[in-house]
Amino acid sequence: MNTNVDIFEGFYKDKTVLVTGHTGFKGSWLCIWLLEMGAKVIGLGLDPYTERDNFVVCGLSSKMVDIRGDIRDAALVKSVLLKYQPDVVFHLAAQPLVRLSYDIPVETYEVNVMGTIHVLEAIRACEKTKIGVMITTDKCYENKEQIWGYRENEPMGGHDPYSSSKGAAEIAIASWRRSFFNPKDYEKHGKSIASARAGNVIGGGDWAKDRIIPDCIRAIEAGIPIEIRSPKAIRPWQHVLEPLSGYLLLAKRMWEEPTKYCEGWNFGPNADSIATVWEVASEVVKCYGKGELVDTSNPNDLHEAKLLMLDVSKARWELGWEPRLLVKGAVALTTDWYCDNVYDHYYKKCLNQLVLFISEI
Ligand SMILES: NC(=O)c1ccc[n+]([C@@H]2O[C@H](COP(=O)([O-])OP(=O)(O)OC[C@H]3O[C@@H](n4cnc5c(N)ncnc54)[C@H](O)[C@@H]3O)[C@@H](O)[C@H]2O)c1
């Protein structure tokens, strides 16, 4: 099998790239892709949550510079950038869970808003860093439960503490861009800062609580019914490699034309890849070959958005980015990661999935 996964024309080869949140679900996949393209990868994040996390089972700690630290510590974040001098920063570290944010709202804001500001300030202090891609979420928009996908120029908002913290992070990113990284003054600061909003991301190696795929897998493994809290909720599902391909392409374009692409970008699925929670869980059961769903919806449960879609026209037309997989393909690849134990090494499994993914267009 040809395992060349560089679809970015050698851009990342020998670049120093900092990934915050490298021990997490999306961060670990991003590090694998970057390593495979010859980048020198530095990670800053907390310890992985479980021994089964993608970061752990792929043995990533020994393949990259693995720094464990808290982005709420501004001095630490700055010291990491000054020591390693990254060309590009992908900022993914966050408290990313809606339901947990109701339990720890202050911490959610500290990490998601102040943590983001600390990363922006560190980028400001590090002359070598040219690009910052700051990851927020589809939930940063003021959710009107509308049937149309949100566009990048719509207002920020968010009902729960997680969503609103990401809306607030977006406002901070835009403010820092206007104040310190203004494209008008590019010759003076030499930096390009963008934000990226993805949909509901699924993929192997995620064991987070209250996310549909890990919830399904845990229940199937335990031989108990899969409890579905919001069966009718509609989400923009996408495989983890979809938004990552968008982030990687965006950073390359920003490097080439720094004053053109320093804005907010949506990286969601095509409209025909939108499905309910129940449909996605049913697809997991089908692919896994076992499992049973039970509807546990309760009208008094914590508020979670019921309808959320992203409009990806801008990324499609201006970056030339396209989603590759339909929801069934994304679920099949994801379930394969959890139930196929043919490979003894998960790094190889991820790489094989990456090869399959990039051959999809
Ligand atoms: N998974 C999704 O469906 C989804 C959708 C849209 C956006 N996002 C965003 O993508 C990013 C990554 O999400 P994920 O799903 O990989 O989450 P994750 O929970 O798997 O990973 C989060 C990462 O952030 C790190 N982190 C958390 N608190 C930190 C702190 N105080 N200091 C340093 N590091 C800290 C963790 O150690 C981990 O490496 C987040 O910004 C999230 O909001 C995720």
> What's 155's domain CATH number?
3.40.50.720
Ligand 1, pocket-test mutation among 19, 23, 26, most atoms within 8 A of CB: 26
Q: How many CA atoms lie within 13 A of 196 on its CB side?
A: 28
- pLDDT number for residue 49: 94
* Atom 30 in ligand 1: residue holding the nearest Cα: 70
- pLDDT number for residue 256: 98
- Strand 88-91, strand 234-235: pairing: unpaired
For residue 263, report the distance from its CA to the centre of ligand 1, in Å. 21
Confidence of residue 302 (pLDDT cuts 50, 70, 90): low
Q: Count of domains in the chain? A: 1
- pLDDT number for residue 234: 85
Confidence of residue 270 (pLDDT cuts 50, 70, 90): confident
Task: Return the ligand 1 atom nearest residue 23 CA.
Answer: 39
Q: Is residue 169 one of the residues assigned to a domain?
A: yes
- pLDDT number for residue 339: 85
**Is the CB of residue 167 below 6 angstroms from any atom belonging to ligand 1?**
no
Q: Is residue 10 one of the residues assigned to a domain?
A: no
pTM of the full structure: 0.96
DSSP annotation of 60: G
Q: Cα 56 to chain center, whole Å?
A: 18
What is the rounded average pLDDT of the residues 25-32? 98
Q: Is residue 4 one of the residues assigned to a domain?
A: no
**Is the CB of residue 92 below 6 angstroms from any atom belonging to ligand 1?**
yes
Confidence of residue 58 (pLDDT cuts 50, 70, 90): very high
* Atom 19 in ligand 1: residue holding the nearest Cα: 24
Cα–Cα distances (Å) from 58 to 62, 155, 330, in that order, read: 10, 39, 20
Q: Is residue 6 one of the residues assigned to a domain?
A: no
Asked whether the beta carbons of 329 and 323 are under 8 A apart, the reply is no
Task: Return the ligand 1 atom nearest residue 53 CA.
Answer: 20
Residues 105-163: tens digit of each pLDDT: 999 999 999 999 999 999 999 999 999 999 999 999 998 878 888 999 999 999 999 99
* Helix/strand/coil for 351: helix
Q: Cα 32 to chain center, whole Å?
A: 14
Whether 343 shows a pLDDT value over 70: the answer reads no
What is the rounded average pLDDT of the residues 341-358? 86
- pLDDT number for residue 246: 98
Residue 19, strand partner residues: 43, 90
Asked whether the beta carbons of 165 and 101 are under 8 A apart, the reply is yes
How much of the chain exceeds pLDDT 70, in percent?
96
Asked whether the beta carbons of 297 and 231 are under 8 A apart, the reply is yes
Confidence of residue 299 (pLDDT cuts 50, 70, 90): confident
What is the rounded average pLDDT of the residues 312-331? 95
- pLDDT number for residue 274: 77
Q: Cα 83 to chain center, whole Å?
A: 25
- Rounded to the nearest integer, the mean pLDDT of the chain is 94
Q: Is residue 345 one of the residues assigned to a domain?
A: yes
- pLDDT number for residue 306: 63
Q: Is residue 8 one of the residues assigned to a domain?
A: no
Q: Is residue 102 one of the residues assigned to a domain?
A: yes
The domain of 338 spans 16-360
DSSP annotation of 267: E
What is the rounded average pLDDT of the residues 93-110? 97
Q: Is the dihedral of CA 8, 346, 87, 89 positive or negative?
A: positive
Asked whether the beta carbons of 131 and 255 are under 8 A apart, the reply is yes
Ligand 1, pocket-test mutation among 56, 92, 117, 309, most atoms within 8 A of CB: 92
SS3 content of the chain, % helix, strand, coil (to 5): 45, 15, 40
d(CA 307, CA 146): 7
- pLDDT number for residue 315: 97
**Is the CB of residue 72 below 6 angstroms from any atom belonging to ligand 1?**
yes
**Residue 319 structure tokens:** 């970056």
Confidence of residue 80 (pLDDT cuts 50, 70, 90): very high
Q: Is residue 316 one of the residues assigned to a domain?
A: yes
- pLDDT number for residue 1: 64
Residues 161-198: tens digit of each pLDDT: 999 999 999 999 999 999 999 999 999 999 999 999 99
